[in-house]
Amino acid sequence: MIIDNNANFRRYIKKIINWPAYGYTEITDVSGQEENLRDIFAQKPALVLLDSIEILQKSREDGYAGNIIFISRHSGVTQAQKAICFGIEAYLKRPFNKREMAEAIDRINKKSGGQNVRIYNLLTGRASAPPSDADRFQVAVARFANSENRDNFLTSLRENTGTYSDFAFSGDILVLLLSGRALMQHFKRFICENGSAYELVSAALSSETSSVADLPHLYDEADYAIRNFFYYAENPTLLECADIDLCKQQPGECDAENIEAIYQRMHPHLIGCEISEITREVNNFEDMLRGSGYTVQKITSLCIKLLHTVNRHIGNLYPDSVSNSAYEDALTAIGSSGTLKQAVSHILRHLSTISNSIGTSEHRHIAERLCDYIDRHYTQPIKLSGLAAEFNYNSAYLGRI
């Protein structure tokens, strides 16, 4: 799928690559202004080429987990960082040539053992040929801390099981199509016994089926579970979709409009360096997200927006308190978080750093004012309570300074 507002560019991309040679037999292209983009992503194309951060973000928020090549018109690292946060497989900057595009596609295919296209055709209903002569099928979706652990897990699984039907990668997520009861049981046992050794973040097993036609439904079932249930768990374990009701999630109440209000409640605690109160507000934010039913991408987006809002406001008041490198490190950490608890911990760590920095600067300023006052009134009896009343501060707070 090629998404771009320039029809000539879309034709150019379709022409310069021998798509069937890479396993892509159905090539479609649409304008980025199309109203039915959500429906297009719901069809789960095996590969998408696009040049819009907004469309990229929306596709991930809507649950699209396939491979994306991001094509940028702009130089600089900002757009690239944003795109990478949403789990793209390759990044190309215009102008690029045929070789660069071909290498990007080849890397995607090789990373999945050349089977990305096959499994996505099966799991999205584009292929009806049975993957094997087995009478039972199951889809497994597993998420790892990083791609190296994912690759090692896959190698070990191959050595222990001998074979499995098909597999595909999408970022740090591994999708497996399991055929036959023996393999299904062996996989379940293997992942429970060895998952932690490969830093498995979460894994979901779909229900079983005897019909290949049901595979798209099973893929959606496992994919939804891993993106909307496991992210909320502090210590994720193997989830079997047949044992839960995937319709329990309710629409969330936390949205971008709430972020400003959350910051306003947090602001006095940041200025006052009240870490316990900051922690309480962040925990409230976590609870709000935990019950929201949002996708991982949506939650990550809201976490980043909260951090951005804090940086914007505090940066205006205390320019020296916000380090660009620390902010970028926090964004990267949130984007790669495996659970909601991890994402929130990165937010809290960054807010604590900002608050301590503000506190140091503010304390120095207050201390200077106190010294000046004492110098001018040293002949008079001075008590802490009197200073607190004079400067309109809490006595305990002033005592720490």
Dihedrals φ, ψ of 204, to 5°? -130, 135
Phi, psi dihedral angles at 90 (to 5 degrees): -155, 150
Q: Residues 6 or more apart from 61 whose CB is under 8 A from it?
A: 295, 297, 298, 301
> In 3D, which of 374, 335, 330, 384 has the Cα closest to residue 354?
330
DSSP 26-59: ---EE-TT-TTHHHHHHT--SEEEE--HHHHHHH
User: What pLDDT, in 10s, does the model give residues 315-330?
Assistant: 777 666 667 778 888 8
| pLDDT tier, 246 (very low <50, low <70, confident <90, very high otherwise) | very low
pLDDT band at 85 (very low <50, low <70, confident <90, very high): low
Give the C-alpha separation, 66 to 120, whole Å: 8
Closest CA to 299 of 273, 327, 335: 335
Give the pLDDT confidence of 42-80 residue by residue, as tens digits: 777 888 998 888 888 888 777 777 788 888 876 655 666
User: pTM of the entire structure?
Assistant: 0.41
